Structure 1
Amino acid sequence: MKLKTELVEHEKVLTATRMHPKALAGAGLYVLLAIVLASFASTVKPASLVLATVVFIAAAVALYKAAERWVHWLRRQYFLTNYRLILMDAGQMQASLPLDRIRGMNVQMHRLKGAGDIVVDALCTTHRVECVPVPQKFSRLTQSAQQKFLSRA
């Protein structure tokens, strides 16, 4: 995973991650639903063309929802540098949080093991880093980088 934005002088990426693969569970369920609906529609097609058409449309909507979730997962990336926390979406920077402005971080674990959200309090704003794999580790790395950054200043 490569950071597609300019770094300031002496800035380097310490770690990079994206949403946990378990975030794709919903997409998998939509694909399964689409398969079941398409199978049902093909079974009822000889008897009722209208019902089969409606069910095929529902299957197409389910596939669209699955693709939408997969693309959302693919586009989200999180980078920690020695100067800031960068939240990217589709290659566009959504937030750049300088380490000296981060006031606190709160890890909220998911029911999915090994995944959670990190709520970052950066002065007057809060940002949610969604579905991070091993969020405690990412939070510790961020706090460590912040301590090193502040000790240099």
Structure 2
Amino acid sequence: MLENLLRTGGAFRSAIARETKLTEASVSRILAELRSENLVQETRHPAPYSGGPTSLVTLSKSVAIAGIELSNSRLSFGIGDLAGTLDYVDRMPASPQLDQDAFEQLVRRSAAAMLAWAHARGITLRQAALSIPGYGREAGNPIYPWDVARLRGVLGE
């Protein structure tokens, strides 16, 4: 449901039910949970047709999320909201030639800088997204030679 809202930018409950193949009762129950976590908001809009729905569901703009991405020999850390606004970004070179210890130090320094930025602004990160090739595979990835189990420990810190 969250992916659907992210992709569409917002939808009426009936459209969410249709797109996610859930019943409207299930959509209502899930939306109540998401609203209690402040992940979604509903606003009244004119009905798209006579007798149509009037409550548009969108992702909450008040939830701060962190993103970490490793691609094109670059490590990026960012903070934004569910609406797609990026408030903080830090990118640094991360060559596959870095040894494990150097890469782990780069991750630690970058994460500390991101968290310090958020803390200085009173921002509490609620969610995090991670995109590192080979991270979910125990065998690792031939592009990035770092030990996945060790990397998991560093990211867990």
Name the TM tier (shorter chain).
Answer: under 0.3
TM-score normalised to the size of structure 1?
0.26
Question: Which one has a bigger Cα radius of gyration?
Answer: 1
Which structure carries more helix by proportion?
1
Which structure carries more strand by proportion?
1
TM-score normalised to the size of structure 2?
0.26
